[in-house]
């Protein structure tokens, strides 16, 4: 059943009230239909877990269509030349590739992010977590995102890639500007800022590659520079885009998960007590943090072939779907009592990390970073409480807090 006009006015991605509390609206939309047409963005919105889960694995859908069709063939506008630096910075991003290029690039990066390779980083990550958190806890109160999560998460991804940690603030500023491009409500001013950030980020990464050629180390960027798989060298543009996507994706969602998830735990003190007492392990609680208030709320796919149906609706080549991950993760047909935050639920079948060929390459790292953070917070500051009412950034696709003020208690 198509949603009523009244319900659609409440699904307003620009409305701070919707962004602050999207789940009741998403529940109504999901109860009405597995997929509905959304005129403002000209997309089909997918609401239910089984439809999202299926779409993620359907190879007839793609993150892009340009490997198969021209813009004109699908009646779509060509990219706006004003934002060409942004387009260039993402041209070879894993998120914008489909096989065979996707397979070739992803196989080079996967090795570094296998669960066992990531597990070997645990001592370094634990030490970093304690080093950043201890002085904040001693101070009696702190803002979790800028005080802890951002410097910690950027330091981890920089250590893996071989990027200087002194550049943390530059990287944060660029990625915060660039992620605005993924919203459905971006203004031209934000697009201009994202374009400038992308241009500077590309120049920075090219200089970094030149440095790695002169002074190689054994970390990921150097490995990419040196790699020659199946006799085929990577191009510099491919390495630049891969480095940028890993640096950006490597902290934005992790930081937002920690913020959203710690907010959830602070709002449910009984659940926080289960974590601090050890009744629920940090590893288990992390899965519920990603499910219950997922930081990546929406991701898109293009229909590349005839005969594709999602949620029972037959689609045409060139149609675009937007999968509502936050809605799928609260689907009562898949998760019992889905609105309940249950730190011990331990259900990893949520779609917070996507699925199929574009499944989050950083998921093992994100899980480890979040687990270590939660364990460190629980051991150094078990009496944590909210010090102020948190609020959400005015963006829906990447959904996270402006900050999370905590008191050590």
What residues make contact with ligand HEM under the rule CB under 6 A? Answer: 63, 94-95, 106, 157, 245-246, 249-250, 253-254, 257, 290, 295-296, 299, 352-354, 358, 360-362, 365-366
Q: Quote the CA–CA distance of 50 and 311 in Å, as a whole number.
A: 8
Closer CB to ligand HEM, 136 or 366, in the complex: 366
Type and span of the H or E element at 51: helix 49-57
Q: Is 393 exposed, middle or buried (0-12, 13-18, 19+ CB in 10 A)?
A: middle
Closer CB to ligand HEM, 87 or 95, in the complex: 95
**Distance of closest approach, residue 357 Cβ to ligand HEM, in angstroms:** 6
Between the CA of residue 279 and those of 181, 260, 273, 386, what are the distances in Å? 41, 21, 8, 22
**Distance of closest approach, residue 266 Cβ to ligand HEM, in angstroms:** 18
- DSSP-derived pairing of the beta strands 405-407 and 385-386: antiparallel
**Distance of closest approach, residue 217 Cβ to ligand HEM, in angstroms:** 18
Q: Quote the CA–CA distance of 113 and 217 in Å, as a whole number.
A: 18
To the nearest 10°, report the CA torsion of 347, 400, 394, 23.
Answer: 20
**Distance of closest approach, residue 95 Cβ to ligand HEM, in angstroms:** 4
**Distance of closest approach, residue 38 Cβ to ligand HEM, in angstroms:** 18
Closer CB to ligand HEM, 311 or 362, in the complex: 362
* Contact between residue 300 and residue 320 where contact means Cβ atoms under 8 Å apart: yes
Q: Is 61 exposed, middle or buried (0-12, 13-18, 19+ CB in 10 A)?
A: buried
Closer CB to ligand HEM, 360 or 386, in the complex: 360
Buried residues in 232-265 as b, exposed as e (16+ CB within 10 A): eebeeebbbbbbbbbbbbbbbbbbbbbbbbbbbb
**Distance of closest approach, residue 140 Cβ to ligand HEM, in angstroms:** 28
Closer CB to ligand HEM, 36 or 113, in the complex: 113
Closer CB to ligand HEM, 137 or 308, in the complex: 308
Helix (H, G, I), strand (E, B) or coil at 91: coil
Q: Quote the CA–CA distance of 330 and 326 in Å, as a whole number.
A: 7
Closer CB to ligand HEM, 3 or 93, in the complex: 93
Total length of the chain: 409
Closer CB to ligand HEM, 66 or 273, in the complex: 66
- In the structure encoding, which two tokens stand for residue 23, read together? 């789940």
**Distance of closest approach, residue 247 Cβ to ligand HEM, in angstroms:** 8
**Distance of closest approach, residue 9 Cβ to ligand HEM, in angstroms:** 28
Residue 55, sorted as left (phi over 0), alpha (psi -120 to 50) or beta, turns out to be alpha
Closer CB to ligand HEM, 151 or 295, in the complex: 295
First to last CA, the chain: 49
- DSSP-derived pairing of the beta strands 298-303 and 320-324: antiparallel
Q: Quote the CA–CA distance of 223 and 244 in Å, as a whole number.
A: 15
Type and span of the H or E element at 46: strand 43-46
Closer CB to ligand HEM, 245 or 406, in the complex: 245
Q: Quote the CA–CA distance of 280 and 67 in Å, as a whole number.
A: 46
The residue number with the shortest CB distance to ligand HEM is 362
**Distance of closest approach, residue 1 Cβ to ligand HEM, in angstroms:** 28
Residue among 293, 259, 322 at smallest CA distance from 22: 293
Closer CB to ligand HEM, 86 or 353, in the complex: 353
8-state DSSP, 92: T
**Distance of closest approach, residue 90 Cβ to ligand HEM, in angstroms:** 11
**Distance of closest approach, residue 313 Cβ to ligand HEM, in angstroms:** 20
């Amino acid at each position: 059943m198509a949603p009523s006009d009244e319900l659609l006015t409440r699904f307003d991605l620009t409305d701070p009230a919707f962004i602050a509390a999207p789940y009741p609206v998403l529940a109504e939309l999901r109860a009405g239909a597995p997929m509905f047409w959304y005129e403002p963005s000209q997309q089909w919105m997918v609401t239910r877990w089984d439809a999202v889960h299926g779409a993620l694995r359907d190879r007839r859908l793609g993150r892009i269509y340009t490997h198969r069709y021209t813009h004109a063939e699908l009646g779509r506008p060509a990219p706006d030349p004003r934002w060409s630096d942004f387009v260039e910075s993402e041209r070879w991003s894993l998120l914008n590739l489909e096989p065979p290029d996707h397979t070739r690039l992803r196989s080079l990066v996967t090795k570094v992010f296998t669960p066992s390779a990531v597990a070997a980083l645990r001592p370094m990550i634990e030490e970093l977590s304690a080093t950043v958190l201890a002085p904040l806890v001693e101070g009696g109160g702190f803002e979790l995102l800028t005080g802890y999560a951002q410097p910690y998460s950027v330091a981890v991804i920089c250590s893996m890639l071989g990027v200087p940690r002194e550049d943390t603030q530059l990287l944060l500023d660029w990625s915060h500007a660039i992620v605005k491009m993924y919203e459905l409500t971006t203004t031209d001013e934000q697009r201009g800022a994202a374009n400038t950030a992308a241009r500077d980020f590309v120049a920075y990464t090219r200089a970094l590659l030149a440095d790695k050629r002169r002074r190689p180390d054994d970390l990921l960027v150097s490995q990419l520079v040196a790699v020659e798989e199946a006799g085929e060298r990577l191009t510099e543009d491919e390495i630049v885009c891969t480095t940028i996507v890993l640096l950006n994706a490597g902290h934005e969602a992790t930081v937002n998960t920690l913020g959203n998830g710690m907010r959830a735990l602070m709002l449910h003190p009984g659940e926080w007590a289960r974590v601090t007492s050890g009744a629920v392990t940090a590893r288990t609680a992390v899965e519920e943090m990603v499910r219950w208030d997922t930081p990546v709320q929406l991701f898109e796919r293009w229909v590349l072939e005839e005969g594709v149906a999602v949620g029972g609706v037959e689609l045409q080549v060139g149609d675009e779907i937007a999968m509502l991950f936050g809605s799928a993760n609260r689907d009562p047909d898949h998760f019992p009592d889905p609105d309940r935050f249950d730190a011990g639920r331990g259900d990893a079948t949520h779609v917070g990390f996507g699925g199929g060929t574009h499944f989050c390459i950083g998921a093992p790292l994100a899980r480890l970073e979040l687990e270590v953070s939660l364990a460190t917070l629980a051991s150094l500051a078990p009496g944590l409480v909210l010090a102020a009412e948190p609020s959400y950034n005015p963006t829906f696709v990447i959904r996270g807090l402006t900050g999370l003020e905590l008191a050590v208690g």
